[in-house]
């Protein structure tokens, strides 16, 4: 399905019934990475899986930034008339979720982020170097974005009012110290570092997050 939000066409899928829940993917991906997780969550929620701008079947635009994608997602929620959805964001999706929670304190009811970072140096140096080398060859604007953005201040996190759950893999590309920094600066946030998991092993085409989400949120 397509919807116009924040001036662009956003492609999304919807499945299930119940309270709204939005799953936001990472860099270079699309909402289809959540197929397995959606199958389980749709028994409890109406699950929305949008493609971010310049990803999947959403509109390709000249500009891309975390700020723009956060505004896109906020507009998506408003255009569909979703009342206080839960948002789960993976990687770039987690960054988008954090930005929404800092800017629109009443828009979401709950936020789960995994593999997110506040600034590029939150990524382990060797992983960041690998992305820089990749960018030299492909010049993708989405990769350039992650090399220079985001720039979220800890003081902004301290203003978040909704329940937030912070997750990362033990072998994530985001450093554990950085993941803890995020959780420590959000009032009341929970933290889970998943043993043996890397950045996306428990997310991309996996339903492993389901049991963790059951721990955080009430399944109807």
CATH of the domain at 85: 3.40.50.1820
pLDDT of residue 169: 98
Q: What is the span of the domain harbouring residue 92?
A: 2-213
Instruction: Read off φ and ψ for residue 25, nearest 5 degrees.
Output: -80, 180
CA distances from 132 to 54, 105, 122, 127, 200 (A): 20, 34, 15, 9, 19
Peptide linkage before 65 cis (omega within 30 of 0): no
121: left (phi over 0), alpha (psi -120 to 50) or beta: alpha
Tokens 């992650």 belong to 146
Residue 32 in domain: yes
71 in any annotated domain: yes
Q: Does residue 21 lie in a domain region?
A: yes
Mean pLDDT by 10 residues, the chain (220 residues): 98 97 98 98 97 98 98 98 98 98 97 98 97 96 97 98 98 98 98 98 98 89
DSSP per-residue letters across 125-185: HHHHHHHHHHHHHH--HHHHHHHH-----HHHHTT--S-EEEEEEEE-SB-HHHHHHHHHT
Q: Does 18 reside within a domain?
A: yes
Q: Is residue 219 part of a domain?
A: no
How many domains, the chain? 1
Q: Which residues contact 7 (CB under 8 A, 6 or more apart)?
A: none
Residue 77: Cβ within 10 Å count: 23
The reported pTM is 0.97
Residue 114 maps to a domain: yes
Q: Flag whether 218 is in a domain.
A: no
Residue at 25 is within a domain: yes
């Amino acid at each position: 399905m397509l919807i116009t939000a924040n001036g662009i066409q956003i492609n999304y899928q919807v499945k299930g019934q119940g309270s709204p829940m939005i799953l936001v993917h990472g860099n270079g991906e699309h909402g289809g990475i959540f197929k397995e997780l959606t199958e389980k969550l749709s028994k409890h929620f109406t699950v929305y899986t949008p493609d971010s701008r310049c990803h999947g079947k959403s509109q390709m635009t000249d500009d891309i930034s975390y700020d723009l994608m956060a505004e896109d997602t906020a507009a998506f929620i408003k255009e569909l008339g979703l009342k206080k959805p839960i948002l789960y964001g993976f990687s770039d999706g987690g960054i988008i979720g954090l930005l929404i929670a800092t800017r629109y304190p009443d828009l979401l009811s709950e936020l789960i982020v995994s593999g997110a970072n506040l600034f590029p140096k939150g990524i382990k140096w060797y992983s960041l170097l690998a992305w820089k080398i990749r960018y030299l060859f492909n010049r993708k604007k989405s990769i350039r974005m992650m090399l220079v953005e985001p720039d979220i201040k800890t003081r902004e996190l301290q203003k978040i009012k909704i329940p937030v759950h912070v997750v990362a893999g033990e072998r994530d590309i985001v450093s554990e110290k950085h993941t803890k920094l995020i959780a420590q600066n959000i009032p009341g946030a929970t933290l889970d570092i998943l043993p043996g998991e890397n950045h996306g092993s428990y997310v991309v085409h996996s339903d492993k997050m389901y049991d963790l989400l059951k721990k955080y949120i009430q399944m109807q």
